[in-house]
A and B are shown apart, each in its own frame.
Chain A
Amino acid sequence: MKKLVKLMMAMLVLAFAFASCGGDDETQYAEFENGAIILNEGAYGNSNASITFIGYGSDIADNQIFYRINGRELGDVLQHAAIYNGKIYMVLNNSGKVEVASSATFIQLQTITGLVNPRYVAAKDGKIYVTQWGSWGEQGTVEVFDANSFSHSNTIKVGTGAEGLLCTDGKIWVANGGGYGLDSTVMVVDAATGAVSDTVTVGYNPKELVEDASGNIWVICSGADIYDDSWEVVGHLPSKLVMIDRQSRQVVHSLIISNTSHPAHIDVSSGKETVYFGGGFGVNGIFSVSITQPVIPQTPVINGFFYGFNIRPSNGDIYCMVAPNFTSAGELKIYSSAGAALKSYSVGIAPSTALFN
């Protein structure tokens, strides 16, 4: 009997030792580098946002990695994220927070709170910039945080419903997307002082911005439908693709896309010589224009209704996210830059954005 007890104790100690070793190895292993990170918004009010990781060349989609690593859910509506200096900053819109984790291991590091309707995030020179709408009737802002201490350092007032932002050449470009109403401006903020230095009028409800190979800024403006008090559609504000000269802040191209279609996303090819736009609620197709001779094409590069899309900078592959609805599994479809279908994966609920690690 004593021998049996000793044997059992020895096995217990060994098992504990193995378990401890295994745990350390797992927590230090950078299993989420060298792949695409898919942001799954989840359904509004359900706090079921999630992250999917897909290694480059892998056939496997690793779903719910934040939950698996940290044992807790991310929050409600994963609107956007950015990777910077080994960390991923994830904006949870309806939770009013930014979750920070290691971009290599996804181990949680910090939660930045005190935000109201945060939308997009960007990072540059040791600072994190988060746009937010604020409550009803409030002006949009850019909230500035230290990228290491996560402390809040500044609030910059911008236009209505601040959305996408772009950090370049010491400036923060902010698309004032209209929020609960309308806006049609892009604001340029001096990163050093936090002062708005320029306001550029573009199309209605600018959502996202990218910089091309020539250093010009391209903006996707969604436009909107106009309703009367009985919820009848009584007019349209067209969607537009706008190019702004980065130095002069002048609008060089303002191209009408559609009266009735309201694309919300934009990205650039790996060489930054082609601008892609499309995707969003009920928008059919991903379209492309050359940065030198921009003309809105009649036919898309890729047919299909995509909730979001992004382009992998290293090879130009187009990652298109399909949200069949807000309750079922979403799908990631990967296309070549020419629009040829390459692969598809089942991911989380309402995938909207791909990041490349």
Chain B
Amino acid sequence: MHLKRVCSIVFLQLVLVGYLCAQMSLSDTIRMDEVKVYGNLRESHSIGATIYRMDSVKLKIFQNRSAAELLAMGSVNLKSYGVGGLSSLTMRGGNSSQTIVVWNGVNIQNPMNGGANLSLFPVNMFSSIRLQYGGSGTIYGSGAISGILILNSNALFPQPNGGELSLSYGSGNTRSLSSQVKYGDKSRAISVKVFGQLADNDFEFRNIYKIGSPKERITHAESKQLGILTDVNMRLHEKLFWSFSGWGQLGDKNLQPIMSSTQPSYANQVDRSLALVSNLSLSPSKRILFNLKNAASLGTIDYSDKGVNIFTNNSYASILTELESKVDVLNNGEVSMGINHTLETASSDDYVGSAKRNRVSGYASFRKPLFSSRFLSVLSMRGELVDGDFKPVIYSVGAEWLPTKKLIFKMNASKNYRIPTLNDLYWASTTYTEGNPNLEPESGWGGDVGFQVKSISSDRAINVSNSLFYSNIERWIVWLSIPTVSDSKWKPFNMSKGESWGWESQVDWSLRVNSLTIRVEGFYTFTHSVFSEQPGSRAQPMIYTPTHRFSGSLNLQYEKYGLGYYHGFTGKRYRDFQSQLPAFNLANLFISYKFNLLWKVVTAGLSVNNLWNQDYQLIAGYAMPLRSYMFTINIDFTR
């Protein structure tokens, strides 16, 4: 039954594409949001992978919000402990630590827990947000078993000098400010972005844990955020280019109680993080490029709950040095190689001493077009030494075949692993918890096969892609408390096995007619996933992995007016082996009006969030807001 439906939808998409392609002929150009990224060599080696790119309109609309809010409307599965709470994403059934988060070419996940709290990632800090699905990101590093979230700054030289200021006020007494300024010439440029937000987050929600599901307001969820990011680009010489990015972020958040609780909450978390990336690029000839990258990702997380007398202070640092090279070889072929050293350290009130880990890895990737570039292939391999222990070599292979200019067949396969987090290894042995220094890395393999149909003409563009995927993860690390053994503390074990397969379909269509621009986007994922907690145990559906997920958007721009409708459907998800969270539809509506004031372009916008006033939870028991509103005014100082 499912197969029939899948075939029908694929067929319909093909027919639709054929029809639309036949209509394209006008001369104005619609620019698909291709973002030229500086500072790494990796994008061109992602051949055969399924990639989802957030368009610039979406980034603009969500500029005063967090990446968590943006991704909740996107193509991935987001988990969040309430409004503004700890948020992470999962892809293809994996858990959040199996999706790595890369900023300007550097993994910025916290090495203590392997996570990245996306509610502390303001959207305005990034010029480009992409999602790469599956384990084919060998070139980015190990650990990307399920996928990669890629965040980047843009090269500054092509951008005009100027600035932008955006102010928002909305429900939950949310007050946000974001601004960015860019100044420079063709050899030196600097950009500074700032984000600040104060919010009470006392949104209305429906308490489904109480008799009659009364409407209540979220309590103890106040938050403060401040972030600053600067990019510097310098052309030191005709063949020498230096870029630097520094990003500091502060978050101070009261943690809202679980819906079922009637007790007062005192929990609070303060996150401070600083990420620095320096990249020196030398191009001695057109065929050769060297990159020397130095980076640091530092942070502290202080958690307190006076109600239960828990006060923990945690700090971490990852220091990275990387040398990369790209050499053009064999008639349009390209070899990219690199060697990387990463030092990870952490200290915590919950650790015995401080944790330290040295990782040295080397990678090589060969990309080769064949048959007049109608066939592209890539083979990437990476070897890693962790504290002197060789880890298994990982690899990915990808290929794309372009029988016509508009049709691409894609495939990739990969083998990957993820080493345990520092928490997994170094957590102290207390009454109830204990780390496990004997953990093995998780091991995964998987692949995609699919096709893409794209057509770009002067006034319209369409891009349709479909892919089937399979993913298998062995020795999955899970924290379990096993009261049936004498040592029954919560402890991580290499016990579980996960397997998922499914289908992803993406449609992106845009059209310009005179002053009207229309853009329609849709992404559907079918995921069948199972998880065996212990060897031999009954396979269960993976928790928080919906079988069906859809996200779609419609954007209209007409002269000074803009309208955007974003809709996400998340199907039922298991929250444990026996219970499911209900499906929900989450929709946001944006309207905007652009006008000139004192020679500046001003855009006023209103957004209605959760338009259909749906009850929903991203993590069981944590209330999410009912319908809410936000008013934004944006002033563009760019000449």
Taking beta carbons and an 8 Å cutoff, which residues of A are in contact with B? 42-43, 45-48, 50, 63-64, 67, 70, 72-76, 92, 94-97, 108, 110-111, 113-117, 135-137, 180, 225, 227, 230-231, 280-282, 284, 304-305, 307, 322-329, 348-349
Contacts and interface: CB of A to CB of B under 8 A. Distances in A.
A349 B213 CA distance: 24
B429 interface: yes
B575 interface: yes
B258 A76 contact: yes
Contacts of B533: 325, 327-328
A305 B484 contact: yes
B306 A72 contact: no
Contacts of B558: none
B483 interface: yes
Contacts of A284: 486
A47 B620 contact: yes
A307 B483 contact: yes
Contacts of B488: 281-282, 305
B423 to A, nearest CB: 15
A113 B620 contact: no
Contacts of A305: 483-486, 488
Contacts of B575: 46, 48
Contacts of B209: 47, 72-73, 75, 95
With a 10 A CB-CB cut-off, give which of B480, B483, B485, B577 has the most chain A CB atoms.
B483
B484 A323 contact: yes
B263 A96 contact: yes
B262 A113 contact: yes
Interface string B408-434: 000000000000000000001111000
A46 B480 contact: no
B307 interface: yes
Given A47-B621, A111-B211, A180-B308, A95 B260 contact: yes
A327 B577 contact: yes
Given A47-B621, A136-B306, A325-B533, A76 B578 contact: no
B160 to A, nearest CB: 50
13 contacts: A46-B620, A47-B621, A63-B578, A76-B261, A94-B261, A95-B262, A114-B262, A135-B308, A137-B309, A231-B352, A281-B483, A324-B482, A327-B478
Nearest to B576: A48
Which 4 pairs of residues, A with B, have the shortest CB-CB distance? Answer: A96-B263, A282-B488, A136-B309, A47-B621
Contact of B261 (A42, A96, A137, A304): A96
Given A72-B213, A115-B263, 20 more contacts: A46-B621, A47-B260, A47-B621, A50-B579, A64-B578, A73-B579, A76-B258, A76-B260, A76-B261, A94-B263, A110-B211, A135-B308, A227-B431, A231-B352, A231-B428, A281-B488, A305-B483, A305-B486, A307-B483, A327-B533
A180 B432 CA distance: 13
B258 A45 contact: yes
A182 B482 CA distance: 25
B481 A325 contact: yes
A284 B258 CA distance: 34
With a 10 A CB-CB cut-off, give which of B209, B575, B621 has the most chain A CB atoms.
B209
A237 B178 CA distance: 57
A323 B480 CA distance: 11
Contacts of A348: 578
A327 B483 contact: no
Given A47-B620, A111-B211, A231-B429, A327 B484 contact: no
Contacts of A116: 263-264, 307
A335 to B, nearest CB: 16
A20 B578 CA distance: 29
